[in-house]
């Protein structure tokens, strides 16, 4: 009889409460300050990180070999026969490759490591859907066949107040460089099929950015039904505004404020992010 464990990294931005409710195990990124090292979402909160950004931008590191090994050992000791591990896009982090290599040492456990090719609640949505499949009694092989279809159904868009943090973290990819911040231009950033950032649009000012996110979502809703997770990167007013604008739109099956972008990603985006992860619901 199969017993399937589900594991993800903290870049999925699933709250501790949701992780526990869905029996999902966490591989926390490391948040490294000059005086101390923390485990993302375990012993550092998003609020602490955003407040401290004013004085220090910490470094981040993928989950440690020791932590990945420890989680897999726990899974084996608890009688699991299979494990599905869903990671942040391999374009942004070495987590996928690190986990894949460590899994090879666990011959007694049949594993599948899935590169989500996305991040934050777009990755989190894939994880939560996988959790549902496990609860429904789908087999390991059935689930790993279904997983790639979720990646095709889920898109991510977000806007940030400044590109400063993406530039400093070396995460900016093909997003336009210093796009005239003196003009108050705000990029709408998406994640392309190859798991890297792209600029979907540029608008002037935060209000226009929220309006553009709304109009992008409306274009999706013209084609079918969708779930929406609103992403909060310490941008409370914009988050509430976006929620009010989209929650009652036709074809919105579910609209949730997903919680705060965690330290692992917030370090690179800075304060003031608002975003939208959207999932197509097939009838």
CATH 3.40.50.10490 assigned to 4-152:
no
Question: What's the average model confidence in pLDDT over 36-41?
Answer: 95
Query: How far apart, in Å, are the Cα atoms of 255 and each of 131, 133, 245, 280?
Result: 19, 21, 11, 13
Confidence of residue 170 (pLDDT cuts 50, 70, 90): low
| pLDDT more than 90, % of the chain | 81
Q: Is the pLDDT of residue 18 over 60?
A: yes
Q: Which residue has the higher pLDDT, 151 or 167?
A: 151
Strand-strand pairing, 154-159 and 273-281? antiparallel
- pLDDT the model gives residue 174: 46
Distance, CA of 118 to CA of 108 (rounded, Å)? 29
Confidence of residue 259 (pLDDT cuts 50, 70, 90): confident
Strand-strand pairing, 273-281 and 225-233? antiparallel
Confidence of residue 86 (pLDDT cuts 50, 70, 90): very high
Q: Is the pLDDT of residue 175 over 80?
A: no
Nearest alpha-carbon partner for 276 in 244, 208, 229: 229
Q: Is the pLDDT of residue 234 over 50?
A: yes
Return the domain boundaries, the chain: 4-152, 154-281
Length of the chain: 283
- pLDDT the model gives residue 54: 87
- pLDDT the model gives residue 223: 95
CATH number of 154-281: 3.30.1180.10, 3.30.300.30, 3.30.2020.30, 1.10.3720.10? 3.30.1180.10
The b/e string for 193-226 (b: 16+ C-beta within 10 A; e otherwise) is: eebbbbebbbbeebebbbebbbebbeebbeeebb
pTM to 2 decimals?
Answer: 0.93
Least confident of 13-27, 75-89, 138-152, 163-177: 163-177
| Residues facing 230 on adjacent strands | 257, 276
CB atoms < 10 A from the CB of 105, how many?
9
- pLDDT the model gives residue 169: 58
Give the H/E segment covering residue 66.
Answer: helix 65-77
For the chain, what is the largest distance between any 2 Cα atoms, rounded to a whole number of angstroms? 61
- pLDDT the model gives residue 151: 94
- pLDDT the model gives residue 181: 54
Q: Is the pLDDT of residue 283 over 90?
A: no
Question: What's the average model confidence in pLDDT over 183-197?
Answer: 87
| Residues facing 198 on adjacent strands | 190
231 CB-near residues (< 8 Å, 6+ apart): 13, 120, 121, 158, 239, 258, 261, 273, 274, 275, 276, 277
Distance, CA of 208 to CA of 111 (rounded, Å)? 45
Most confident of 166-170, 245-249, 260-264: 245-249
């Amino acid at each position: 009889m199969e017993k399937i464990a589900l594991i993800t990294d903290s870049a999925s931005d699933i709250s501790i409460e949701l992780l526990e409710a869905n029996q999902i195990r966490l591989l926390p990124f490391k948040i490294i300050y000059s005086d101390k090292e923390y485990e993302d979402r375990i012993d550092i909160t998003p609020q602490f990180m955003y407040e401290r950004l004013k004085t220090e931008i910490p470094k981040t590191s993928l989950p440690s070999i020791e932590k990945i090994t420890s989680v897999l050992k726990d899974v084996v000791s608890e009688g699991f026969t299979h494990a599905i591990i869903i990671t942040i896009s391999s374009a942004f982090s070495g987590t996928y490759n690190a986990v894949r290599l460590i899994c090879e040492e666990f011959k007694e456990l049949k594993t599948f490591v899935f590169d989500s090719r996305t991040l934050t609640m777009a990755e989190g949505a894939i994880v939560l859907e996988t959790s549902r499949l496990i609860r429904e009694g789908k087999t390991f092989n059935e689930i790993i066949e279904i997983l790639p279809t979720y990646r095709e159904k889920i898109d991510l868009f977000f806007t940030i107040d400044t590109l400063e943090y993406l530039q400093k973290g070396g995460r900016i990819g093909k997003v336009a460089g210093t796009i005239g911040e003196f003009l108050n231009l705000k990029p709408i950033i998406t994640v392309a099929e190859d798991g890297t950032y792209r600029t979907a649009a540029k608008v002037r000012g935060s209000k226009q950015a929220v309006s553009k996110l709304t109009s992008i979502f409306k274009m999706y809703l013209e084609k079918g039904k969708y779930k929406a997770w609103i992403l909060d990167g310490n941008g409370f007013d914009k988050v509430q505004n976006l929620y009010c604008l989209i929650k009652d739109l036709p074809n919105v099956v579910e609209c949730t404020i997903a919680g705060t972008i965690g330290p692992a990603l917030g370090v690179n985006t800075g304060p003031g992010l608002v975003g939208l992860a959207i999932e197509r619901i097939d009838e």
